[in-house]
Structure 1
Amino acid sequence: MNEPQAWTPYCGAAPSPAELLARWNFDPLLLLALVAAGGIYAWRAGEARHRRHRFAAAIALLAILFISPFCALTSALFAARVVHHVALTAVAAPLIVLAFASERIRPAGGLATWTALHALVFWLWHAPPIYAWALSGDAAYWLMQATLLGSAFGFWAALRRSPALAGVGALLATMVQMGLLGALITFSGGPLYAPHLVGPQLWGFSPLEDQQLAGLIMWAPAAGLYLAAALVLLGRWLRREARPALP
Protein backbone atom coordinates (compact mmCIF):
# COMPACT_ATOMS: atom_id res chain seq x y z
CA MET A 1 0.00 0.00 0.00
CA ASN A 2 1.19 3.54 -0.69
CA GLU A 3 2.60 5.70 2.09
CA PRO A 4 -0.14 7.41 4.10
CA GLN A 5 -0.94 10.99 3.24
CA ALA A 6 -2.42 13.72 5.44
CA TRP A 7 -6.16 13.05 5.24
CA THR A 8 -8.48 15.89 6.15
CA PRO A 9 -12.01 14.45 6.07
CA TYR A 10 -15.10 16.47 6.91
CA CYS A 11 -14.92 15.58 10.61
CA GLY A 12 -11.32 16.74 10.83
CA ALA A 13 -8.02 14.98 11.38
CA ALA A 14 -7.93 11.82 13.47
CA PRO A 15 -8.05 12.71 17.19
CA SER A 16 -6.18 11.03 20.00
CA PRO A 17 -8.16 9.72 22.99
CA ALA A 18 -7.20 12.80 24.99
CA GLU A 19 -8.54 15.13 22.29
CA LEU A 20 -11.78 13.33 21.49
CA LEU A 21 -14.23 14.93 23.95
CA ALA A 22 -13.31 18.41 22.72
CA ARG A 23 -13.95 17.54 19.09
CA TRP A 24 -17.56 18.66 18.58
CA ASN A 25 -18.60 19.67 15.09
CA PHE A 26 -20.59 22.90 15.07
CA ASP A 27 -20.73 23.36 11.31
CA PRO A 28 -23.41 26.07 10.92
CA LEU A 29 -24.75 24.62 7.66
CA LEU A 30 -25.18 21.21 9.25
CA LEU A 31 -26.89 22.67 12.31
CA LEU A 32 -29.17 24.73 10.08
CA ALA A 33 -30.07 21.67 8.00
CA LEU A 34 -31.01 19.59 11.04
CA VAL A 35 -33.04 22.40 12.62
CA ALA A 36 -34.76 23.11 9.30
CA ALA A 37 -35.61 19.44 8.82
CA GLY A 38 -37.16 19.28 12.27
CA GLY A 39 -39.03 22.54 11.74
CA ILE A 40 -40.44 21.56 8.34
CA TYR A 41 -41.56 18.20 9.70
CA ALA A 42 -43.28 19.81 12.68
CA TRP A 43 -44.96 22.40 10.44
CA ARG A 44 -46.14 20.20 7.58
CA ALA A 45 -46.34 16.62 8.80
CA GLY A 46 -49.41 16.71 11.02
CA GLU A 47 -48.46 13.21 12.14
CA ALA A 48 -49.39 11.32 15.29
CA ARG A 49 -47.30 11.71 18.41
CA HIS A 50 -45.54 8.37 18.01
CA ARG A 51 -44.46 9.36 14.51
CA ARG A 52 -43.14 12.69 15.76
CA HIS A 53 -41.15 10.81 18.38
CA ARG A 54 -39.60 8.63 15.67
CA PHE A 55 -38.56 11.67 13.65
CA ALA A 56 -37.10 13.30 16.76
CA ALA A 57 -35.15 10.11 17.46
CA ALA A 58 -33.79 10.15 13.88
CA ILE A 59 -32.68 13.77 14.22
CA ALA A 60 -31.05 13.00 17.58
CA LEU A 61 -29.19 10.08 16.02
CA LEU A 62 -28.00 12.24 13.11
CA ALA A 63 -26.75 14.78 15.65
CA ILE A 64 -24.75 12.06 17.40
CA LEU A 65 -23.29 10.86 14.10
CA PHE A 66 -22.37 14.26 12.67
CA ILE A 67 -22.11 16.75 15.57
CA SER A 68 -20.86 14.84 18.61
CA PRO A 69 -17.22 13.73 19.04
CA PHE A 70 -18.22 10.44 17.43
CA CYS A 71 -17.90 12.27 14.11
CA ALA A 72 -14.20 12.90 14.81
CA LEU A 73 -13.73 9.32 15.96
CA THR A 74 -14.76 8.11 12.50
CA SER A 75 -11.73 9.95 11.13
CA ALA A 76 -9.48 7.83 13.34
CA LEU A 77 -11.08 4.39 13.33
CA PHE A 78 -12.56 2.54 10.39
CA ALA A 79 -14.53 0.52 12.96
CA ALA A 80 -16.24 3.75 14.06
CA ARG A 81 -16.94 4.60 10.42
CA VAL A 82 -18.69 1.26 9.95
CA VAL A 83 -20.83 1.88 13.03
CA HIS A 84 -21.64 5.30 11.57
CA HIS A 85 -22.73 3.85 8.22
CA VAL A 86 -24.77 1.08 9.81
CA ALA A 87 -26.52 3.52 12.17
CA LEU A 88 -27.28 5.78 9.22
CA THR A 89 -28.70 3.09 6.97
CA ALA A 90 -30.22 0.56 9.40
CA VAL A 91 -31.46 2.86 12.18
CA ALA A 92 -31.84 6.48 11.03
CA ALA A 93 -33.33 5.61 7.62
CA PRO A 94 -36.13 3.33 8.92
CA LEU A 95 -36.91 5.81 11.71
CA ILE A 96 -37.44 8.53 9.11
CA VAL A 97 -39.61 6.22 7.01
CA LEU A 98 -41.71 5.28 10.04
CA ALA A 99 -42.10 8.94 10.96
CA PHE A 100 -44.56 9.33 8.07
CA ALA A 101 -47.80 7.55 7.28
CA SER A 102 -47.17 4.88 4.65
CA GLU A 103 -49.40 6.53 2.06
CA ARG A 104 -47.26 9.67 2.18
CA ILE A 105 -44.13 7.90 0.98
CA ARG A 106 -44.28 6.24 -2.43
CA PRO A 107 -40.79 5.37 -3.67
CA ALA A 108 -40.37 4.95 -7.41
CA GLY A 109 -39.41 1.39 -8.28
CA GLY A 110 -40.04 -1.90 -6.56
CA LEU A 111 -38.51 -3.55 -3.54
CA ALA A 112 -36.10 -5.69 -5.58
CA THR A 113 -34.76 -2.57 -7.31
CA TRP A 114 -34.18 -0.73 -4.04
CA THR A 115 -32.63 -3.78 -2.39
CA ALA A 116 -30.12 -4.12 -5.22
CA LEU A 117 -29.46 -0.37 -5.42
CA HIS A 118 -28.83 -0.04 -1.70
CA ALA A 119 -26.46 -3.03 -1.74
CA LEU A 120 -24.59 -1.56 -4.71
CA VAL A 121 -24.24 1.84 -3.03
CA PHE A 122 -23.06 0.27 0.23
CA TRP A 123 -20.45 -1.90 -1.48
CA LEU A 124 -19.19 0.91 -3.71
CA TRP A 125 -18.52 3.28 -0.82
CA HIS A 126 -16.58 0.55 0.98
CA ALA A 127 -14.36 -0.18 -2.00
CA PRO A 128 -10.96 1.12 -0.78
CA PRO A 129 -10.24 3.62 -3.60
CA ILE A 130 -13.76 5.09 -3.53
CA TYR A 131 -13.77 5.23 0.25
CA ALA A 132 -10.44 7.07 0.22
CA TRP A 133 -11.83 9.56 -2.30
CA ALA A 134 -14.87 10.14 -0.09
CA LEU A 135 -12.59 11.27 2.74
CA SER A 136 -10.56 13.59 0.54
CA GLY A 137 -13.01 16.52 0.63
CA ASP A 138 -16.31 17.73 2.00
CA ALA A 139 -18.27 17.40 -1.25
CA ALA A 140 -17.25 13.76 -1.69
CA TYR A 141 -17.98 13.04 1.97
CA TRP A 142 -21.51 14.42 1.77
CA LEU A 143 -22.13 12.60 -1.50
CA MET A 144 -21.29 9.37 0.34
CA GLN A 145 -23.60 10.22 3.24
CA ALA A 146 -26.47 11.35 1.00
CA THR A 147 -26.38 8.28 -1.23
CA LEU A 148 -26.09 5.88 1.71
CA LEU A 149 -29.03 7.49 3.51
CA GLY A 150 -31.05 8.02 0.32
CA SER A 151 -30.70 4.46 -0.92
CA ALA A 152 -31.48 3.14 2.57
CA PHE A 153 -34.55 5.37 2.78
CA GLY A 154 -35.77 4.01 -0.55
CA PHE A 155 -35.12 0.44 0.59
CA TRP A 156 -37.04 0.79 3.86
CA ALA A 157 -39.87 2.75 2.23
CA ALA A 158 -40.29 0.12 -0.50
CA LEU A 159 -40.11 -2.64 2.10
CA ARG A 160 -42.87 -0.99 4.12
CA ARG A 161 -45.23 -1.01 1.15
CA SER A 162 -44.43 -4.58 0.05
CA PRO A 163 -46.02 -7.90 1.04
CA ALA A 164 -44.59 -9.35 4.24
CA LEU A 165 -42.86 -12.35 2.67
CA ALA A 166 -41.25 -10.18 0.00
CA GLY A 167 -40.00 -7.92 2.76
CA VAL A 168 -38.55 -10.85 4.67
CA GLY A 169 -36.72 -11.95 1.52
CA ALA A 170 -35.31 -8.46 0.94
CA LEU A 171 -34.14 -8.18 4.54
CA LEU A 172 -32.46 -11.58 4.43
CA ALA A 173 -30.77 -10.70 1.14
CA THR A 174 -29.48 -7.49 2.70
CA MET A 175 -28.28 -9.41 5.73
CA VAL A 176 -26.35 -11.82 3.51
CA GLN A 177 -24.67 -9.12 1.43
CA MET A 178 -23.78 -7.14 4.57
CA GLY A 179 -22.28 -10.23 6.18
CA LEU A 180 -20.35 -11.11 3.02
CA LEU A 181 -18.82 -7.64 2.80
CA GLY A 182 -17.93 -7.80 6.49
CA ALA A 183 -16.29 -11.20 6.03
CA LEU A 184 -14.22 -9.97 3.08
CA ILE A 185 -13.02 -6.99 5.12
CA THR A 186 -12.29 -9.15 8.18
CA PHE A 187 -10.22 -11.75 6.34
CA SER A 188 -8.25 -9.37 4.15
CA GLY A 189 -4.56 -10.10 4.46
CA GLY A 190 -3.54 -6.48 4.96
CA PRO A 191 -4.92 -2.99 5.63
CA LEU A 192 -7.06 -1.73 2.75
CA TYR A 193 -8.12 1.76 3.80
CA ALA A 194 -5.43 4.40 3.40
CA PRO A 195 -7.19 7.09 5.49
CA HIS A 196 -6.95 4.76 8.52
CA LEU A 197 -3.28 3.84 8.41
CA VAL A 198 -2.33 6.30 11.15
CA GLY A 199 -5.45 7.03 13.22
CA PRO A 200 -5.89 3.54 14.75
CA GLN A 201 -2.38 3.68 16.17
CA LEU A 202 -3.40 6.66 18.30
CA TRP A 203 -5.96 4.35 19.90
CA GLY A 204 -3.69 1.36 20.42
CA PHE A 205 -4.80 -0.58 17.33
CA SER A 206 -2.86 -1.55 14.26
CA PRO A 207 -4.57 -0.59 10.98
CA LEU A 208 -5.28 -4.27 10.32
CA GLU A 209 -6.80 -4.80 13.79
CA ASP A 210 -9.05 -1.78 13.30
CA GLN A 211 -10.11 -3.10 9.90
CA GLN A 212 -10.81 -6.57 11.30
CA LEU A 213 -12.95 -5.08 14.08
CA ALA A 214 -14.86 -3.07 11.46
CA GLY A 215 -15.46 -6.20 9.40
CA LEU A 216 -16.70 -8.11 12.44
CA ILE A 217 -19.11 -5.29 13.30
CA MET A 218 -20.49 -5.38 9.78
CA TRP A 219 -20.53 -9.16 9.66
CA ALA A 220 -22.35 -9.88 12.93
CA PRO A 221 -24.25 -7.05 14.70
CA ALA A 222 -24.94 -5.03 11.55
CA ALA A 223 -26.21 -8.01 9.58
CA GLY A 224 -28.10 -9.04 12.72
CA LEU A 225 -30.19 -5.87 12.58
CA TYR A 226 -31.64 -7.00 9.25
CA LEU A 227 -32.20 -10.51 10.58
CA ALA A 228 -34.06 -9.08 13.58
CA ALA A 229 -36.23 -6.94 11.30
CA ALA A 230 -36.97 -10.00 9.13
CA LEU A 231 -38.00 -12.02 12.18
CA VAL A 232 -40.29 -9.22 13.40
CA LEU A 233 -41.91 -8.97 9.98
CA LEU A 234 -42.27 -12.75 9.72
CA GLY A 235 -43.76 -12.93 13.21
CA ARG A 236 -46.38 -10.32 12.36
CA TRP A 237 -47.29 -12.19 9.18
CA LEU A 238 -47.64 -15.49 11.05
CA ARG A 239 -49.87 -13.88 13.66
CA ARG A 240 -52.11 -12.46 10.95
CA GLU A 241 -52.30 -15.81 9.22
CA ALA A 242 -53.17 -17.55 12.49
CA ARG A 243 -56.14 -15.34 13.22
CA PRO A 244 -59.45 -17.14 12.67
CA ALA A 245 -61.43 -15.81 9.75
CA LEU A 246 -64.49 -13.77 10.72
CA PRO A 247 -67.80 -15.47 9.82
Structure 2
Amino acid sequence: MPWFEYLLPYDFSPLTVAAYLGALIVYGLALPRLPEAERPDPWRITAFLVGLLACYVVMQTRFDYYAQYTFFIHRGQHLALHHVGPFLIALSNPLPVLRYWRHRLPAGQSRLAVPLAWIYRALQQPAVATVLFVGLIYFWLWPAVHFDAMLNRQLYWTMNWSMLLDGLLFWWLMLDPRPPARGRTLGHGTRILMMALVALPQLVLGAVIVFAHESLYDIYDVCGRAWPIAPRTDQLLGGLLTWIPPAMMSIIGILLMLQRIMNDGRPQQKQADLAHSSNGGMAS
Protein backbone atom coordinates (compact mmCIF):
# COMPACT_ATOMS: atom_id res chain seq x y z
CA MET A 1 0.00 0.00 0.00
CA PRO A 2 1.17 3.57 -0.67
CA TRP A 3 1.91 5.33 2.61
CA PHE A 4 -0.93 7.83 2.28
CA GLU A 5 -3.51 5.03 2.17
CA TYR A 6 -2.65 4.23 5.79
CA LEU A 7 -4.12 7.64 6.67
CA LEU A 8 -7.47 6.83 5.05
CA PRO A 9 -10.30 5.34 7.15
CA TYR A 10 -10.54 1.58 7.17
CA ASP A 11 -14.21 1.72 8.23
CA PHE A 12 -15.39 5.18 7.26
CA SER A 13 -17.84 6.75 9.71
CA PRO A 14 -19.25 10.13 8.58
CA LEU A 15 -20.50 10.84 12.11
CA THR A 16 -17.07 10.22 13.62
CA VAL A 17 -15.27 12.40 11.08
CA ALA A 18 -17.87 15.15 11.56
CA ALA A 19 -17.47 14.97 15.35
CA TYR A 20 -13.70 15.39 15.22
CA LEU A 21 -13.87 18.07 12.54
CA GLY A 22 -16.55 19.90 14.53
CA ALA A 23 -14.42 19.82 17.69
CA LEU A 24 -11.46 21.21 15.76
CA ILE A 25 -13.54 24.00 14.18
CA VAL A 26 -15.20 24.96 17.47
CA TYR A 27 -11.80 25.14 19.18
CA GLY A 28 -10.14 27.02 16.34
CA LEU A 29 -12.90 29.62 16.01
CA ALA A 30 -12.96 30.36 19.74
CA LEU A 31 -9.20 30.78 20.22
CA PRO A 32 -8.72 34.21 18.59
CA ARG A 33 -11.94 35.50 20.18
CA LEU A 34 -10.98 34.68 23.77
CA PRO A 35 -9.75 37.46 26.06
CA GLU A 36 -5.98 37.57 26.31
CA ALA A 37 -6.06 36.42 29.96
CA GLU A 38 -8.09 33.32 29.10
CA ARG A 39 -6.36 32.35 25.86
CA PRO A 40 -4.43 29.07 26.25
CA ASP A 41 -0.68 29.10 25.80
CA PRO A 42 1.03 27.11 23.00
CA TRP A 43 1.62 24.10 25.26
CA ARG A 44 -2.08 23.80 26.08
CA ILE A 45 -3.07 24.19 22.43
CA THR A 46 -0.56 21.52 21.48
CA ALA A 47 -1.88 19.15 24.17
CA PHE A 48 -5.43 19.57 22.86
CA LEU A 49 -4.46 18.99 19.23
CA VAL A 50 -2.25 15.98 20.00
CA GLY A 51 -4.96 14.41 22.18
CA LEU A 52 -7.62 14.95 19.50
CA LEU A 53 -5.32 13.62 16.77
CA ALA A 54 -4.41 10.52 18.79
CA CYS A 55 -8.08 9.60 19.19
CA TYR A 56 -8.84 10.27 15.52
CA VAL A 57 -5.90 8.20 14.27
CA VAL A 58 -6.93 5.06 16.17
CA MET A 59 -10.55 5.39 14.99
CA GLN A 60 -10.39 6.66 11.42
CA THR A 61 -7.15 5.48 9.81
CA ARG A 62 -5.73 2.11 8.83
CA PHE A 63 -4.83 1.69 12.51
CA ASP A 64 -8.44 0.62 13.07
CA TYR A 65 -7.97 -2.35 10.73
CA TYR A 66 -5.06 -3.66 12.79
CA ALA A 67 -7.03 -3.01 15.99
CA GLN A 68 -9.84 -5.22 14.71
CA TYR A 69 -7.52 -8.08 13.79
CA THR A 70 -4.81 -7.97 16.46
CA PHE A 71 -5.54 -8.01 20.18
CA PHE A 72 -2.56 -5.99 21.38
CA ILE A 73 -3.24 -3.29 18.75
CA HIS A 74 -6.83 -3.20 20.00
CA ARG A 75 -5.54 -2.60 23.51
CA GLY A 76 -3.36 0.20 22.16
CA GLN A 77 -6.45 1.67 20.53
CA HIS A 78 -8.35 1.74 23.83
CA LEU A 79 -5.28 3.07 25.62
CA ALA A 80 -5.42 6.08 23.30
CA LEU A 81 -9.22 6.46 23.50
CA HIS A 82 -9.65 5.95 27.24
CA HIS A 83 -6.41 7.34 28.64
CA VAL A 84 -3.85 9.21 26.54
CA GLY A 85 -6.13 11.25 24.27
CA PRO A 86 -8.67 12.32 26.93
CA PHE A 87 -5.84 12.97 29.42
CA LEU A 88 -4.17 15.42 27.02
CA ILE A 89 -7.46 17.09 26.11
CA ALA A 90 -8.37 17.55 29.78
CA LEU A 91 -4.84 18.76 30.56
CA SER A 92 -5.21 21.45 27.89
CA ASN A 93 -8.09 22.97 29.91
CA PRO A 94 -10.66 23.66 27.15
CA LEU A 95 -12.96 25.31 29.73
CA PRO A 96 -12.54 28.87 28.32
CA VAL A 97 -13.53 27.59 24.87
CA LEU A 98 -16.59 25.82 26.26
CA ARG A 99 -17.53 28.90 28.26
CA TYR A 100 -17.20 31.08 25.16
CA TRP A 101 -19.67 28.97 23.17
CA ARG A 102 -22.04 28.44 26.10
CA HIS A 103 -22.61 32.20 26.37
CA ARG A 104 -23.57 32.24 22.69
CA LEU A 105 -26.18 29.49 22.79
CA PRO A 106 -29.75 30.61 22.06
CA ALA A 107 -32.05 30.63 25.08
CA GLY A 108 -34.04 27.64 23.82
CA GLN A 109 -30.95 25.50 23.40
CA SER A 110 -29.75 26.51 26.86
CA ARG A 111 -32.99 25.09 28.31
CA LEU A 112 -32.46 21.88 26.36
CA ALA A 113 -29.02 21.60 27.94
CA VAL A 114 -30.48 21.32 31.45
CA PRO A 115 -31.25 17.56 31.26
CA LEU A 116 -27.75 16.99 29.87
CA ALA A 117 -26.32 18.90 32.81
CA TRP A 118 -28.23 16.62 35.22
CA ILE A 119 -26.85 13.52 33.49
CA TYR A 120 -23.35 15.02 33.53
CA ARG A 121 -23.50 15.75 37.27
CA ALA A 122 -24.77 12.22 37.96
CA LEU A 123 -21.93 10.65 35.96
CA GLN A 124 -19.38 12.88 37.68
CA GLN A 125 -20.21 11.69 41.18
CA PRO A 126 -16.94 10.20 42.53
CA ALA A 127 -18.29 6.70 43.15
CA VAL A 128 -20.11 6.58 39.80
CA ALA A 129 -17.14 7.93 37.85
CA THR A 130 -14.73 5.46 39.46
CA VAL A 131 -16.91 2.39 38.93
CA LEU A 132 -17.82 3.43 35.38
CA PHE A 133 -14.21 4.05 34.39
CA VAL A 134 -13.04 0.61 35.50
CA GLY A 135 -16.32 -1.15 34.77
CA LEU A 136 -16.28 -0.29 31.08
CA ILE A 137 -12.80 -1.77 30.69
CA TYR A 138 -13.88 -5.01 32.38
CA PHE A 139 -17.17 -5.11 30.46
CA TRP A 140 -15.67 -4.77 26.98
CA LEU A 141 -12.86 -7.22 27.83
CA TRP A 142 -15.24 -9.87 29.11
CA PRO A 143 -14.48 -12.63 26.55
CA ALA A 144 -18.10 -13.24 25.47
CA VAL A 145 -18.87 -9.52 25.18
CA HIS A 146 -15.58 -8.85 23.40
CA PHE A 147 -16.33 -11.63 20.90
CA ASP A 148 -19.69 -10.07 19.98
CA ALA A 149 -18.34 -6.52 19.88
CA MET A 150 -15.63 -7.42 17.38
CA LEU A 151 -18.16 -9.09 15.06
CA ASN A 152 -20.96 -6.51 15.23
CA ARG A 153 -20.17 -3.19 13.56
CA GLN A 154 -22.65 -1.12 15.59
CA LEU A 155 -21.55 -2.72 18.85
CA TYR A 156 -17.92 -2.15 17.89
CA TRP A 157 -18.53 1.57 17.36
CA THR A 158 -20.52 1.73 20.60
CA MET A 159 -17.58 0.18 22.43
CA ASN A 160 -15.04 2.66 21.05
CA TRP A 161 -17.21 5.74 21.57
CA SER A 162 -18.13 4.69 25.11
CA MET A 163 -14.43 4.39 25.96
CA LEU A 164 -13.67 7.81 24.50
CA LEU A 165 -16.57 9.64 26.16
CA ASP A 166 -15.96 8.00 29.53
CA GLY A 167 -12.26 8.84 29.29
CA LEU A 168 -13.09 12.49 28.64
CA LEU A 169 -15.49 12.59 31.60
CA PHE A 170 -13.10 10.91 34.02
CA TRP A 171 -9.91 12.77 33.15
CA TRP A 172 -11.69 16.10 33.11
CA LEU A 173 -12.98 15.34 36.61
CA MET A 174 -9.41 14.52 37.64
CA LEU A 175 -7.61 17.40 35.89
CA ASP A 176 -10.18 20.20 36.22
CA PRO A 177 -7.92 23.20 36.93
CA ARG A 178 -10.44 25.14 39.00
CA PRO A 179 -9.48 25.33 42.69
CA PRO A 180 -11.77 23.17 44.86
CA ALA A 181 -12.33 26.10 47.24
CA ARG A 182 -13.78 28.34 44.52
CA GLY A 183 -15.21 25.95 41.94
CA ARG A 184 -17.61 23.11 42.57
CA THR A 185 -14.85 20.59 41.97
CA LEU A 186 -13.41 17.63 43.82
CA GLY A 187 -10.70 18.11 46.41
CA HIS A 188 -7.19 17.10 45.45
CA GLY A 189 -7.16 14.27 47.99
CA THR A 190 -10.35 12.78 46.53
CA ARG A 191 -8.88 12.88 43.04
CA ILE A 192 -5.68 11.16 44.19
CA LEU A 193 -7.71 8.45 45.89
CA MET A 194 -9.85 7.92 42.77
CA MET A 195 -6.83 7.61 40.48
CA ALA A 196 -5.26 5.09 42.85
CA LEU A 197 -8.51 3.11 43.02
CA VAL A 198 -8.93 2.86 39.23
CA ALA A 199 -5.30 1.77 38.82
CA LEU A 200 -5.57 -1.32 41.03
CA PRO A 201 -8.32 -3.20 39.12
CA GLN A 202 -6.54 -2.48 35.83
CA LEU A 203 -3.34 -3.96 37.26
CA VAL A 204 -5.28 -7.08 38.25
CA LEU A 205 -6.99 -7.40 34.86
CA GLY A 206 -3.73 -6.94 32.99
CA ALA A 207 -2.03 -9.56 35.14
CA VAL A 208 -4.87 -12.04 34.54
CA ILE A 209 -4.52 -11.61 30.77
CA VAL A 210 -0.71 -11.83 30.86
CA PHE A 211 -0.56 -14.98 32.98
CA ALA A 212 -3.56 -16.79 31.46
CA HIS A 213 -2.54 -20.22 30.15
CA GLU A 214 -5.36 -20.43 27.61
CA SER A 215 -6.51 -18.11 24.86
CA LEU A 216 -9.09 -15.73 26.34
CA TYR A 217 -10.12 -14.01 23.11
CA ASP A 218 -10.92 -16.58 20.45
CA ILE A 219 -12.27 -13.97 18.06
CA TYR A 220 -8.74 -13.30 16.77
CA ASP A 221 -8.27 -17.01 16.11
CA VAL A 222 -11.60 -17.24 14.31
CA CYS A 223 -11.20 -14.17 12.09
CA GLY A 224 -7.42 -14.33 11.76
CA ARG A 225 -4.80 -11.77 12.67
CA ALA A 226 -3.52 -8.86 10.63
CA TRP A 227 -0.07 -10.46 10.39
CA PRO A 228 1.51 -13.72 11.60
CA ILE A 229 1.92 -13.51 15.35
CA ALA A 230 1.61 -16.27 17.92
CA PRO A 231 -1.72 -16.05 19.80
CA ARG A 232 0.11 -16.32 23.13
CA THR A 233 2.41 -13.43 22.19
CA ASP A 234 -0.52 -11.33 21.01
CA GLN A 235 -2.37 -11.89 24.28
CA LEU A 236 0.77 -11.27 26.34
CA LEU A 237 1.41 -7.90 24.68
CA GLY A 238 -2.26 -6.96 25.03
CA GLY A 239 -2.18 -7.81 28.71
CA LEU A 240 0.92 -5.69 29.24
CA LEU A 241 -0.79 -2.73 27.55
CA THR A 242 -3.74 -3.24 29.89
CA TRP A 243 -1.47 -3.58 32.91
CA ILE A 244 1.38 -1.04 32.79
CA PRO A 245 0.48 2.12 30.77
CA PRO A 246 -2.91 2.76 32.48
CA ALA A 247 -1.24 2.54 35.89
CA MET A 248 1.41 4.97 34.69
CA MET A 249 -1.32 7.40 33.63
CA SER A 250 -2.73 7.31 37.17
CA ILE A 251 0.73 7.93 38.59
CA ILE A 252 1.21 10.94 36.30
CA GLY A 253 -2.20 12.28 37.34
CA ILE A 254 -1.36 11.83 41.03
CA LEU A 255 1.94 13.67 40.57
CA LEU A 256 0.09 16.55 38.92
CA MET A 257 -2.30 16.72 41.86
CA LEU A 258 0.59 16.76 44.32
CA GLN A 259 2.12 19.63 42.37
CA ARG A 260 -1.16 21.55 42.56
CA ILE A 261 -1.35 20.98 46.32
CA MET A 262 2.12 22.46 46.67
CA ASN A 263 1.28 25.40 44.40
CA ASP A 264 -2.00 26.09 46.23
CA GLY A 265 -0.08 26.52 49.46
CA ARG A 266 2.43 29.00 48.06
CA PRO A 267 0.19 32.12 47.95
CA GLN A 268 -0.80 31.65 51.59
CA GLN A 269 2.83 31.11 52.57
CA LYS A 270 3.86 34.22 50.65
CA GLN A 271 1.17 36.28 52.41
CA ALA A 272 2.28 34.92 55.79
CA ASP A 273 5.91 35.80 55.03
CA LEU A 274 4.90 39.33 54.00
CA ALA A 275 2.82 39.78 57.13
CA HIS A 276 5.65 38.48 59.29
CA SER A 277 8.18 40.81 57.70
CA SER A 278 5.76 43.73 58.02
CA ASN A 279 5.21 43.03 61.71
CA GLY A 280 8.95 42.72 62.21
CA GLY A 281 9.51 46.08 60.53
CA MET A 282 6.84 47.77 62.71
CA ALA A 283 8.34 46.27 65.85
CA SER A 284 11.76 47.56 64.99
Same fold? TM cut 0.5:
yes
Kept in 2: contact 1:64–1:70 (CA 8 A):
yes
CA distance in 2, matches of 1:223, 1:19: 37
Against the structure 1 CA distance between its residues 19 and 217, is the aligned structure 2 distance closer, same or farther, given a 3 Å change threshold? Answer: farther
Residue of structure 2 aligned with 1:186, choices 204, 210, 230: 210
Q: What percent identity do the matched residue pairs reach? A: 20
**Farther off after superposition, 91-100 or 119-128:** 91-100
Against the structure 1 CA distance between its residues 233 and 182, is the aligned structure 2 distance closer, same or farther, given a 3 Å change threshold? Answer: same
Deviation at 1:187, TM superposition (A): 1.2
The alignment partner of 1:197 has SS state of: helix
Aligned to 1:32: 18
Deviation at 1:214, TM superposition (A): 0.8
Deviation at 1:114, TM superposition (A): 0.4
Q: Mark the structure with the bigger radius of gyration.
A: 2
**Farther off after superposition, 205-214 or 47-56:** 47-56
1:87 maps onto 2:112 in alignment = no
Deviations 1:94-136, CA, capped at 9 Å, x for gaps: 3333442289597413223201111111110111111111111
1:41 maps onto 2:27 in alignment = yes
Deviation at 1:201, TM superposition (A): 5.7
Kept in 1: contact 2:207–2:243 (CA 8 A):
yes
Partner letter of residue 241 of structure 2?
Answer: I
Kept in 2: contact 1:79–1:211 (CA 8 A):
yes
Please list, as runs of the form range in 1=range in 2, the aligned pairs for 1:1-247 lying within 5 A after superposition: 22-23=5-6, 24-25=8-9, 27=12, 29=14, 30-43=16-29, 48-50=39-41, 51-97=44-90, 98-101=92-95, 104=99, 107-109=120-122, 110-159=125-174, 160=176, 161-197=185-221, 203-241=227-265, 244=269, 246=271, 247=275
Deviation at 1:55, TM superposition (A): 3.1
**Unaligned segments of structure 1, at least 5 residues:** 1-17
Deviations 1:33-90, CA, capped at 9 Å, x for gaps: 3212322333457552445443322321122112232211112211111111011111
Against the structure 1 CA distance between its residues 179 and 28, is the aligned structure 2 distance closer, same or farther, given a 3 Å change threshold? Answer: closer
CA distance in 1, matches of 2:223, 2:234: 10
Deviations 1:8-44, CA, capped at 9 Å, x for gaps: xxxxxxxxxx899845316260333321232233345
Kept in 1: contact 2:67–2:74 (CA 8 A):
yes
Kindly indicate which of the two structures has a greater share of residues assigned to helix. 2
CA distance in 1, matches of 2:13, 2:207: 38
CA distance in 1, matches of 2:257, 2:132: 22
CA distance in 2, matches of 1:208, 1:38: 40
Against the structure 1 CA distance between its residues 28 and 174, is the aligned structure 2 distance closer, same or farther, given a 3 Å change threshold? Answer: closer
The alignment partner of 1:108 has SS state of: helix
Deviations 1:164-199, CA, capped at 9 Å, x for gaps: 111111111111121111011111111111221267
Partner letter of residue 100 of structure 1?
Answer: P
CA distance in 1, matches of 2:224, 2:74: 12
Against the structure 1 CA distance between its residues 202 and 94, is the aligned structure 2 distance closer, same or farther, given a 3 Å change threshold? Answer: closer
Kept in 1: contact 2:203–2:244 (CA 8 A):
yes
CA distance in 2, matches of 1:66, 1:93: 14
Deviations 1:191-238, CA, capped at 9 Å, x for gaps: 111221267765342212211111112211231121122122123313
Against the structure 1 CA distance between its residues 232 and 44, is the aligned structure 2 distance closer, same or farther, given a 3 Å change threshold? Answer: closer
With the length of structure 1 as denominator, give the TM-score of the two structures: 0.80
Partner letter of residue 27 of structure 2?
Answer: Y
Kept in 2: contact 1:115–1:170 (CA 8 A):
yes
**Unaligned segments of structure 2, at least 5 residues:** 103-116, 177-184, 276-284
Query: Quick one: higher RCO (CA 8 Å, sep 6+), 1 or 2?
Result: 1
